[in-house]
Structures are given as C-alpha cells and as structure tokens.
Amino acid sequence: MNIYLNDSIKQNEKAVSNNLEFEQERMVEAILFASSEPLSLKEISKRMPKNANTKSVLQSLQQKYQNKGIRIVKILDSYAFRTAADLGHLLKDQILEKRKLSKAALEVLAIIAYHKGSTRAEIEEIRGVSVSSGTLDLLMDMGWITLGRRRLTPGRPLTFLITPAFLDNFGLESTKDLPGINELRENGLLERRPTLSEYPSNGDLLEK
C-alpha cells in the first residue's frame, strides 16, 4: 500500500513540477516577445516569480526553439527572439531598405569592431583616408557604435566602441563570432590595406 502511495505522490510531484516549468517558460516567452530590445537575465528575472530558475528556463527554451523559424538568441548577456539565420533571406528586402550603409561606413564599423575600440586617428591611419564626422554620427545615431574611454596618450582622444545593438543586428553573440578579415575583404567590406593585425592593440593605453 505504501509503495503505491509513494508512487502516486511522486507522480503528482512530477506533474506539478512539469506544469510549473511549462508556466515559467510561457512567462519568459511573453516577456521576450513583448520587448523591443534584448533583455538581460537580471531584467527577465525581475518579472518572474521569486522561486523561478530563469537561467534554466532560458536554456530549456533555447533548445526547444533551436530548429524553429524563430530562435531565442543570446547577445552578450542579453536574450531576444530573432529569425533563424537560414531564413534571413525572407526578410532581406526589409532589412536592406532599413539599414543601407555606405562602403566607408561599413569599413569604419569593421575596424572599430575588430580593434574592440578605436580612436578617429587610428581609424584614419588604417583606412588611409580621413573619416567624415557624418559617418561617425550616422553609426552613433543607428546605435551601432558608442563613445568609450579616452586613450592615455597626448590629446586624450576618445575611443569608439561597438554596441550590443551592432551584435544583435548582425546576429552575433559576441565579437568572437565576427567573420575573418579575408571574408570581409571578399565581400567588399574592407579595402586591400594593411591588415588590422599589423597594428598594435591599444587596450593597455585606456583609462581604468
């Protein structure tokens, strides 16, 4: 009798646990779907019940959406619903219409991304031509670059950094997922100038 009772209790506990997990997944789906911007784990957790393991729920949902038309992607430390990469061509016209950039702007963007922060002078040195204020202003208005710390060099020039919005737009989780330099050149995003690896990293020259 006790064996049957214990089995029944275990089954009920499992059913309750499964139902709780299902409800928490629905909550996270609703939170992400309603947000126009990627949300961090902390931001999502604030809207969840106190006993919820939000990180575990997100991991479970990422697996469930892995082969679907939309996926839950991680961008740095934030999460968002995004169209599956292999279906991006279906939205190509909309994306191109919304985000048309000049070749110069794309080149500036690539340099900032690969250097993980560059001053205007450094960008101009690598490109071999001057950078117009309009190009930098456009990229900042789009939210793809932002101002970083100042170099500890004469004049204390400001650095430009890429933003999470840049990674999100190009479907990257972090700068580690950036394509290779040769791939960028093949696609016409960088001219045949000295490779970025020829220029020393200036990360140790930044303000702390």
pLDDT of residue 9: 45
* Judgement on whether residues 127 and 165 belong to the same structural domain of the protein: yes
Do β-strands 39-40 and 78-83 pair in parallel, antiparallel, or remain unpaired?
Answer: antiparallel
Mean pLDDT over each residue of the chain, to the nearest integer: 77
* Judgement on whether residues 129 and 172 belong to the same structural domain of the protein: yes
pLDDT of residue 170: 77
pLDDT of residue 152: 85
* Judgement on whether residues 16 and 65 belong to the same structural domain of the protein: yes
* Judgement on whether residues 108 and 84 belong to the same structural domain of the protein: no
Residue 26 in domain: yes
Residue 25 in domain: yes
Q: Among 88, 108, 131, identify where a domain stops.
A: 88
pLDDT of residue 132: 84
Residue 180's SS3 state is coil
* Judgement on whether residues 130 and 194 belong to the same structural domain of the protein: yes
Residue 65 in domain: yes
* Judgement on whether residues 64 and 21 belong to the same structural domain of the protein: yes
pLDDT of residue 161: 92
> CB under 8 Å to 33, separation ≥6 — which residues?
81
> In this structure, what token pair is assigned to residue 140?
């900042």
pLDDT tens track for 103-151? 888 888 888 988 888 999 999 998 888 888 888 988 988 888 999 998 8
Counted domains in the chain: 2
pLDDT of residue 201: 42
Rounded to 5°, the CA angle 20-26-29 comes to 140
* Structural domain for 43, as ranges: 2-88
Mean pLDDT, residues 61-72? 91
* Judgement on whether residues 79 and 108 belong to the same structural domain of the protein: no
* Judgement on whether residues 103 and 79 belong to the same structural domain of the protein: no
Mean pLDDT, residues 43-61? 92
DSSP track, 10-77: HHHHHHHHHHHHHHHHHHHHHHHHH-SS-EEHHHHHHTS-TT--HHHHHHHHHHHTTTSSEEEEEETT
Is the pLDDT score of 47 beyond 60? yes
The C-alpha atoms of residue 111 and residue 130 are separated, in whole angstroms, by 14
- 38 vs 4, which has greater pLDDT? 38
Cβ atoms 72, 32 nearer than 8 A: yes
pTM over 0.75: no
pLDDT of residue 87: 77
Mean pLDDT, residues 32-56? 91
CATH number at residue 164: 1.10.10.10
pLDDT of residue 48: 93
Residue 143 in domain: yes
pLDDT of residue 196: 39
Residue 104 in domain: yes
* Judgement on whether residues 82 and 129 belong to the same structural domain of the protein: no
* Judgement on whether residues 106 and 84 belong to the same structural domain of the protein: no
Is the pLDDT score of 5 beyond 70? no
* Judgement on whether residues 103 and 195 belong to the same structural domain of the protein: yes
Is the pLDDT score of 203 beyond 80? no
* Judgement on whether residues 138 and 78 belong to the same structural domain of the protein: no
